[in-house]
Amino acid sequence: MPLVRSLSRIWASWRSCEKGAPLPTGATQRFNADAANVFRAERAVGETDLATWFGAPSRIALDEEIIGLGKYGYTLTVLSSEALPEDPLDEGDEEAELERSWTPHFAYGR
């Protein structure tokens, strides 16, 4: 998740993906064009890029996974990629640090 933190700092200048904002052209928009996809909880997969969704300066390829949420009438879209760059502000292995912080330490010889 460190990459998400660093990207969130620059997202302010990118296109908004707020509720009610029009969807970018792509697999999610095509999926939602047929309401039956949503209500039957269908699934679809497509390809997109960072610039299409967020107006980012980079055209990093993303996988676009779409799932209809049935009677709720919404769609869940997951954007992911193996091609995202490493977070330059990442200070190390967060999982190892978390494990160390929860490992009990005993004070012997007091």
**Reduced to 3 states, what is the DSSP secondary structure of residue 35?**
helix
Mean pLDDT of 62-73: 95
Q: How many CA atoms lie within 13 A of 61 on its CB side?
A: 5
Per-residue model confidence as pLDDT tens digits over 26-42 = 999 999 999 999 999 99
Q: Which residues contact 37 (CB under 8 A, 6 or more apart)?
A: 31, 44, 68
- How many residues are there in the chain? 110
Per-residue model confidence as pLDDT tens digits over 4-60 = 655 565 555 456 677 778 888 899 999 999 999 999 999 999 999 888 888 777 778
**C-alpha–C-alpha distance, residues 43 and 31, integer Å:** 9
Q: pTM of the prediction?
A: 0.64
